[in-house]
Chain A
Amino acid sequence: MNDFLAARSQMALSLGFHIVFSCIGMVMPFFMAVAHFLYIRTGNDIYKNITRAWSKGVAIFFATGAVSGTVLSFELGLLWPEFMKHAGPIFGMPFSLEGTAFFIEAIALGFFLYGWGRFNQWFHWITGVVVGISGLVSGILVVAANAWMNSPAGFDFVNGQYLNIDPIKAMFNDAWFSQALHMCIAAFAATGFAVAGIHALMILRRRNIAFHTTAFRIPALFACIAAVLQPLSGDISAKDVARRQPAKLAAMEAHFKTEAASPLVIGGIPDPVAKEVKYGVEIPGLLSFMVYSDFHTPVKGLDQIPENDQPPVAITHYAFQIMVGLGMIMLGIALCYFVALIRKKSWLRMPWLLRLFVIATPMGFIAVEAGWTVTEVGRQPWIINGVMRTADAVTPMPGIAYSFYIFTAVYISLSLIVTFLLYRQIRMVPEIYDIQTPSL
């Protein structure tokens, strides 16, 4: 493995690992806040137990997310010094603000986790909400920094020099809103389906049914609302990408040839050499419609982009298809759930509905990883779109492959331990959180 590929793999691994924990860290506090609120209002202990059970999970995920985030702030310099030398002062604004948001989050989490029975209950509740809000703000700021790499703004690039730096303009670049919106909704959908799926599984196994049924409802509702909103936000994102990064859109859609009434390709195997997609389903004019809202305007294809400026088509296309496919499945489940809630109350007790949620447990996070792959691989060969190439940004230090192997081992072991801890939390529910209603 050469050093450049190793550096890219290590960065992808670190971000792919961190993204899961940060999604959970920013969404779970909202689920807890709802349960906590219901406890304070109703005095029903089951809500308190749910809040406490979730907060244990959050502590584990938050700590893992915090350390993996710390690692990332160093890895930017360790792996991409040439990039950070120039980009740091331009896109650093969201990071400096994120430092504050993250700090507030850590303080509020200290109050929340250790505050049971110590403070006024509404103060305690608010600290939990602050954890969620500051987590969400952190997420938005970090995504704004990533958006700058896709849509560089706030400087003039003259003869290889970065002049007239304006960090505020850089932060509010063209892509920040659509990317942040898409990421936040994705976080709610992914975390919601993951948590709801685990509780659904426990209900199907007839363990602590009252506890798990109550716990299931909160994430399920959040997840389903997010799943319905996500295609709309995806549409905003796609139109935005088409305008700013035609190469990325062409790779996502495996759209090789610029032509009137550009077709939408579903599935299929892109062949970059023959410049065609095999076995895909083509719907004529639909891509044009999705990008320009009319069926005839041609969408820029890869044939209009110089060969050495093209992203890897196959990976981008597959990742995009996976993301959209899973998004559609989650949308379907969400619609079923809403029908059940509004029209067919009897469905709520049907095992098949719960089974759908069990199947959907990992889907949100797979979609998040796929979407992340689309935005990062789809930007290649650029690290700053159109300004700096990724290959020019990498560290001169040799032997990064070894560092990548060790990081891989560390992150795999951490994932295993976190899974193991989560399994233990769930197994201990009857003993710690739900003593009244024993398993059947």
Chain B
Amino acid sequence: MIFVVMAYLWAAILLYILLGGADFGAGIIELFTSEKNKAYTRNTMYQAIGPIWEANHMWLIIAIVVLFVGFPEIYTTVSTHLHIPLVIMLFGIIARGTAFTFRHYDAVKDNMQKVYNRIFVYSSFVTPFFLGVIAGSAVSGRIDPDANDFLNAYVYPWLNWFSVTVGFFTVAICGYLAAIFIIGETNDDNSRVRFIRKAKQMNLAAAVFGALVFWAAHAEGIPLDKWMFDNPIGIIAIIAAVVSLGMLWYLLLKKGKIIIIRVLAGFQVTMILLAITIRHYPNIVILKGGRYLSLLEHAGQEKTIHSLAMALLLGSILILPALFYLLYSFRRSDVAEH
């Protein structure tokens, strides 16, 4: 049963990166769009994510509930030592969710729209940035449960070059996913070309920040290159990611089928997550001094894990068909008819 729970945790994180990430990316794209194209971009994005944005963010809740029910020690260690970035991320979530809804549901469309837009785009940047910082910090080996002073216990675990570059990398990935997604949501060739350009830019940004992550890891003494390349699954995953990236660029240039482009982008991100997580399995948090928090050793008692797995299985029977039908009903071809 513990493996069922782990699989769900991994899947929830992956789906949050893909769906929630593309959702954040919508705001990031809007932030980096020229003033004259902003309104068009905003409307296209809204058409695409309006009905599904709430659902996109449920994956985070699933992941956090799995952590606090099944792996309480991991949840509490992380929330104690990464308190500050978590709180900033939460403010980002509040600001983004409400601004997105308010700007659409405000009965009067006036200058307040500008306020909502601004809050939306900046929080779309800040939230995934801090999510990345938190993810980076979890594996940076800087969390020190024995630290007694404020800086070492609550600040340095996340305020280091590695965590910060992972933050920027996450932002770039979100923008990239959103750009790939939105290419398929537009009908006219002009905007298609523009979004393809955006996707390429975001992809380049991800590559640059990806390189910076390796540089920062090296500078901070984190053996990231070893983690990625000293095991066969990691190497295969990285090769798969690179190959799919090449195919994706080829298809973007040749105006290939959008569905294949989307699948390739999703596959690529999946492989990156796989490469990062597989090496440390079953460890999920790396503490100072080479200690680990492990999904196997720090799991709750058997009955807890059993009922959690049951709840997750039951949940997916109910959720997945409904979610697929939602995505299917509001796909672009169908939207265009109405």
Contact = CB atoms under 8 A, between A and B. Distances in A.
Q: How large is the interface on A (under 10, 10 to 19, 20 to 34, 35 or more residues)?
A: 35 or more
Interface in B86-124: 86-87, 90-91, 93-94, 97-98, 100-102, 104-108
A399 B319 CA distance: 40
A82 B150 contact: no
Interface stretch (A41-49, A313-321, A357-365, A420-428): A420-428
Nearest to B58: A103
Contacts of B57: 66, 70
B3 to A, nearest CB: 17
B79 A88 contact: no
Interface stretch (A110-118, A178-186, A297-305): A110-118
Interface string A395-429: 11111000100100010001001000100110110
A60 interface: yes
Contacts of B329: 111, 115, 118-119
B326 A78 contact: no
Interface string B51-87: 1101101101110111011101101111110010011
A160 to B, nearest CB: 16
Contacts of A99: 58, 61-62, 65, 311, 315
Contacts of B101: 59-60, 63-64
Interface in A54-76: 56, 59-60, 62-64, 66-71, 73-76
A59 B75 contact: no
Given A96-B311, A107-B55, A102 B61 contact: yes
B58 A110 contact: no
B106 A95 contact: no
B307 interface: yes
User: Interface centre among B73, B150, B307, by most A CB within 10 Å?
Assistant: B307
A77 interface: yes
B105 A428 contact: no
A403 B87 CA distance: 8
Interface stretch (B32-40, B196-204, B260-268, B298-306): B298-306
A92 B55 contact: no
Nearest to A426: B107
Contact of B51 (A78, A84, A103, A113): A113
Contacts of A81: 76-77, 79-80
Contact of A78 (B86, B97, B303, B338): B86
Contacts of A425: 107
B306 to A, nearest CB: 9
A424 B106 contact: yes
Q: Interface size class for chain B?
A: 35 or more
Contacts of B60: 70
B154 interface: yes
B93 A427 contact: no
A217 interface: no
A397 B68 contact: no
A395 B98 contact: no
B304 A92 contact: yes
Contacts of B318: 100, 104
B65 A95 contact: yes
A111 B324 CA distance: 12
A109 interface: yes
B323 interface: yes
B65 A165 contact: no
B210 interface: no
Contacts of A82: 76
A78 B89 CA distance: 12
A312 interface: no
A114 B50 contact: yes
B235 interface: no
A93 interface: yes
B159 interface: no
28 contacts: A56-B107, A66-B54, A67-B98, A71-B93, A73-B64, A77-B68, A78-B83, A81-B77, A84-B75, A85-B76, A89-B69, A89-B300, A93-B307, A96-B69, A99-B58, A102-B61, A103-B61, A104-B322, A106-B54, A110-B330, A114-B51, A115-B329, A165-B304, A414-B94, A414-B98, A424-B107, A428-B107, A432-B107
Top 6 closest pairs, chain A to chain B, by CB:
A92-B69, A77-B79, A100-B315, A89-B300, A63-B101, A81-B76
Interface of A: 56, 59-60, 62-64, 66-71, 73-78, 81-82, 84-86, 88-90, 92-93, 95-100, 102-104, 106-111, 113-115, 117-119, 165-168, 395-399, 403, 406, 410, 414, 417, 421, 424-425, 427-428, 432
Given A84-B76, A100-B315, A424-B107, 16 more contacts: A56-B107, A71-B90, A74-B90, A77-B68, A82-B76, A85-B76, A86-B72, A93-B307, A96-B312, A99-B315, A100-B318, A114-B330, A117-B338, A118-B329, A395-B80, A421-B102
